[in-house]
Amino acid sequence: MKVLAINSSPHMDKGNTAVILNPFLDGLREAGAEVELFYTKKLKINPCLGCFNCWLKTPGVCAQKDDMDMLRPKLGEADVWVLATPLYVDGMTGPMKNVLDRFIPLVQPFFELRDGHCRHPGRNGTKDGKTVLVSNCGFWEMDNFDSMVVHVKAVCKNAGREFAGALLRPQGPALKTMLEMNAGVSDVVEAARDAGRQLVRDGKMSAETLNTVSRELISLEDYIQVANQSFQQQLDANKAKKKAPIS
């Protein structure tokens, strides 16, 4: 099983998205998958120009030369896409959306009916694999992910891929801190790892495991209080730094 993972957090390996993504990828590897991970921050991927050259002038070839030339064939060949993104204004990050927009050279311009819906046929050699979404967000509630999950499911239908599920972590920033404090949340990370193993072994991830990834870490009232305290402390510390005389 070939897995292509893309992490679009600007914090890359140090971010909250990676706290869930990395054990998930470890689980996939442990179960025998071949995993490649890319960070959009390290890649140069311009927004799509909308010129349709890749459909009508130079079929299958994008007018822009950047790191999509390297990534696009990998997207075409992967059995599993892992789209890992922090939630930004109720959706995926801009860099992740750029990757998806720049996928269109891999489909043809023609329309066909698939499951009664207008779609583009793929080009030769493009696999119809699975897609997994991995995300975390700053707010407390699970429903913050609703719009992004709807979007990624629609992307899967459009690209002829199976939506294989999502590892969603609300209260994202709390997980890292609580892990560092040994505050009894290691089951969340272990569930992410197990989800990876399950996907390779069973072809799917169990609802129970995904629920553990998303489980409540701290009550809503405590989360708001702790978050606001931390914001205030950081504001005060930065103000004090500004005021301090330059030595």
Residues that bind ligand FMN (CB under 6 A): 9, 11, 15-17, 86-90, 136-139, 144, 172-173
CB of 115 to ligand FMN, least distance (A): 31
Closest residue to ligand FMN using C-beta atoms: 15
Nearest residue (CB) to ligand FMN, 10 versus 160: 10
Distance of closest approach, residue 179 Cβ to ligand FMN, in angstroms: 14
- Judged by beta carbon, residue 2 or residue 41, the one nearer ligand FMN is 41
Instruction: Name the residue nearer to ligand FMN (CB basis): 88 or 104.
Output: 88
DSSP E strand boundaries for the chain: 2-7, 34-39, 80-86, 112-114, 117-119, 130-136, 162-169
Output the smallest distance, CB 9 to ligand FMN, in A.
3
Residues 6+ apart with CB under 8 A from 189: 19, 20, 23, 179
Distance CA 31, CA 197 (A): 5
Residue 9 · residue 15 · CB < 8 Å? yes
**Which residue number, 83 or 106, has a Cβ lying nearer to ligand FMN?**
83
Residue pair 62/53 in contact (Cβ under 8 Å)? The answer is yes
Please state the closest distance from residue 176 (CB atom) to ligand FMN, in A.
8
* Nearest C-alpha neighbor of 175 from the set 161, 159, 192: 192
Residues 6+ apart with CB under 8 A from 101: 47, 48
Phi-psi bin for 32: left (phi > 0), alpha (psi -120 to 50), beta? Answer: left
- 166, β-bridge pairs: 133
Closest distance to ligand FMN from the beta carbon of 35 (Å): 19
Nearer to ligand FMN, 27 or 173 (CB): 173
